[in-house]
Amino acid sequence: MAERTKYILDEADLPTQWYNVVSDLPEPPPPPLHPGTREPVGPEDLAPLFPQALIAQEVSTERYVDIPEEVREVYRLWRPSPLYRARRLEKALGTPARIYYKYEGVSPVGSHKPNTAVPQAFYNAAEGVTRLTTETGAGQWGSALAFACAQYGLECEVWQVRASYDQKPYRKLMMETFGATVHPSPSALTESGRKILADDPDSPGSLGIAISEAVEQAAADPNARYALGSVLNHVLMHQTVIGEEALKQFELAGDTPDLLVGCTGGGSNFGGLAFPFLREKLAGRMNPVIRAVEPAACPTLTRGTYAYDFGDTAGLTPLLKMHTLGHGFIPDPIHAGGLRYHGMSPLISHIYELGLIEALAVGQQECFAAGVRFARAEGIIPAPEPTHALAACIQEALRCKETGEEKVILTALCGHAHLDLPAYGAYLSGEMVDNELSDDVLAASLAELP
Ligand SMILES: *Cc1c(COP(=O)(O)O)cnc(C)c1O
């Protein structure tokens, strides 16, 4: 019998509930604090920014939350997403390891981001909000939210990090095609942006600055709310459709993972894949090692401090207890724009502190080498972000080649690179560099923690 390489679920297997990992943790993550009072923030503090349904999900301790049928209808455009066995990559590496990848590049914008953009737009529309503001770094999140807003008739306004706005005109065009308005960040439209521009008119921007601008605009308009594409508990919960589907697909494959690897920017695709498996692990039904992979240029888990910090540069957000490099930290302009965030999801940070997951940092040249190797074997060009996870997969697969171990590895291939090909161009032409992040630069940034 021919061996299968692709595991596809029926529409009927589309998950009906999101999984809330908080319900199964030995202790809950520390709450967000009000920056003025240093007291835990209440729903009324968050109401100018988020709809009630999402605020309730953010603090929920329920194990499962039902996915509204209106959201499942949109999910059906591309979900369930396929799980592949990377037989050709295994062969190319000569490894006895079995490598699987859950592919999220089949979504309308080519990444996992619509898994949360769609419910976020839905809940806002249901509560009468007419306009959503957000930031985007690499352009993936802005595209996803623009698509989601088009589904429910919402206006969408996006602050795109200046460097990416200039380098990625196609992402901007995608957002505009879906009906969004796109501004480069820093912009003169907000106080936060004007302050940065006064100091540096040529500022390339950062995710932290763009968040400040989008938050400021949402807070000033009673009909607007703000949407965040990663980091927060409700975002990671929406992404658990990835892991729930993958669990069913592993049943079809008759296999069990020994190792999960995922790339971490704010932690949402990693958490989305890993949390349902962590539930199984905590229940004693399987025992995979779970490993987060981050860029050496923005190493929040491996070199950051676990402390309360702002989610943005201007200090407009609540204080989040998280692994952080400092809210003023501006990472090197590496090509994996989606991984250039100064903090890490409080939930992932907490789970890391509990010792339930491991972390590893990898330089971008090794990542793109892995991306090229994967593309030539499997025919999918991975987005720059998941090349980090693939680099870690390949490291492990080559270790298995030495030891003969038939380890089962699962990774999230959270997006394709069709709009990020210039990054491959930089790698292929030999222009790509790995700059060391010095201890001094990091210490200076951490000295500014609130
Ligand atoms: C946004 C993005 C990331 C980083 O965000 P996480 O919340 O860590 O998943 C990674 N990969 C892709 C393709 C992205 O679009």
What pLDDT is recorded for position 207? 87
End-to-end CA distance of the chain: 61
Residue-wise pLDDT tens digits, 8-45: 999 999 999 999 999 999 999 999 999 999 999 988 99
User: Is there an atom of ligand 1 within 6 Å of 371 CB?
Assistant: no
User: Is there an atom of ligand 1 within 6 Å of 141 CB?
Assistant: yes
Residue % of the chain over a pLDDT of 70: 100
What separation in Å is there between the alpha carbon of 385 and the centre of ligand 1?
Answer: 6
Contact by Cβ (8 Å): 257, 263: no
User: Is there an atom of ligand 1 within 6 Å of 415 CB?
Assistant: yes
Picking from 357, 369, 348, 382, the residue whose alpha carbon sits closest to that of residue 434 is 369
What separation in Å is there between the alpha carbon of 4 and the centre of ligand 1?
Answer: 28
DSSP state of 4: P
Token reading at 346: 């409080």
Give Cβ neighbours of residue 140 (< 8 Å, ≥ 6 apart): 109, 110, 111, 113, 171, 229, 338, 383, 415
Residue-wise pLDDT tens digits, 423-447: 999 999 999 999 889 999 999 999 9
Q: Which among 112, 116, 340 is the best mutation to test ligand 1's pocket, defined by most ligand atoms within 8 Å of the CB?
A: 112
User: Is there an atom of ligand 1 within 6 Å of 362 CB?
Assistant: no
What pLDDT is recorded for position 165? 93
Q: What residue has token string 């009000």?
A: 34
Contact by Cβ (8 Å): 260, 348: no
184 three-state secondary structure? strand
Token reading at 405: 């171990």
What pLDDT is recorded for position 159? 98
Angle between helix 387-403 and helix 364-378 axes, rounded to 10 deg: 80
Q: How far is Cα 441 from Cα 420, in angstroms, rounded to an integer?
A: 28
User: Is there an atom of ligand 1 within 6 Å of 212 CB?
Assistant: no
pLDDT score of 414 more than 90: yes
Element containing residue 336 per DSSP (H, E): none
Residue-wise pLDDT tens digits, 56-110: 999 999 999 999 999 999 999 999 999 999 999 999 999 999 999 999 999 999 9
Residue-wise pLDDT tens digits, 363-392: 999 999 999 999 999 999 999 999 999 999
Picking from 321, 131, 144, the residue whose alpha carbon sits closest to that of residue 219 is 131
Before 80, cis peptide (omega within 30)? yes
Token reading at 368: 């793109």
pLDDT score of 2 more than 80: no
Before 186, cis peptide (omega within 30)? yes
The pairing of strands 305-310 and 224-226 is unpaired
Angle between helix 421-428 and helix 364-378 axes, rounded to 10 deg: 110
What separation in Å is there between the alpha carbon of 46 and the centre of ligand 1?
Answer: 24
User: Is there an atom of ligand 1 within 6 Å of 266 CB?
Assistant: yes
Q: Which among 275, 374, 385 is the best mutation to test ligand 1's pocket, defined by most ligand atoms within 8 Å of the CB?
A: 385
What separation in Å is there between the alpha carbon of 436 and the centre of ligand 1?
Answer: 22
Picking from 412, 378, 399, the residue whose alpha carbon sits closest to that of residue 96 is 399
Q: Please, where are the H alpha helices in 110-180? A: 114-126, 140-152, 162-167, 169-177
Count of positions (residues) in the chain: 450
What separation in Å is there between the alpha carbon of 3 and the centre of ligand 1?
Answer: 31
pLDDT score of 1 more than 60: no
Contact by Cβ (8 Å): 342, 327: yes
Q: Which domains does the chain have, with CATH numbers?
A: 6-13+68-110+234-446 (3.40.50.1100)
Token reading at 212: 């400040």
What separation in Å is there between the alpha carbon of 113 and the centre of ligand 1?
Answer: 7
Element containing residue 308 per DSSP (H, E): strand 305-310
Q: How far is Cα 229 from Cα 318, in angstroms, rounded to an integer?
A: 16
Residue type, 190: T
Q: Please, where are the H alpha helices in 47-110? A: 52-58, 69-75, 87-93
What is the pLDDT averaged over residues 324-332? 91
In the chain, count of helices (H) and strands (E)?
Answer: 19, 15
Average pLDDT, the chain: 96
pLDDT score of 338 more than 80: yes
Residue-wise pLDDT tens digits, 235-272: 999 999 999 999 999 999 999 999 999 999 999 999 99
445 three-state secondary structure? helix
Q: How far is Cα 26 from Cα 402, in angstroms, rounded to an integer?
A: 37
Q: How far is Cα 235 from Cα 226, in angstroms, rounded to an integer?
A: 13
Residue type, 223: N
User: Is there an atom of ligand 1 within 6 Å of 263 CB?
Assistant: yes
Bridge partners of residue 361, in order along the sequence: 294
Angle between helix 140-152 and helix 114-126 axes, rounded to 10 deg: 40
Ligand 1 closest atom vs CA 113: 15
Q: Which among 101, 103, 111 is the best mutation to test ligand 1's pocket, defined by most ligand atoms within 8 Å of the CB?
A: 111
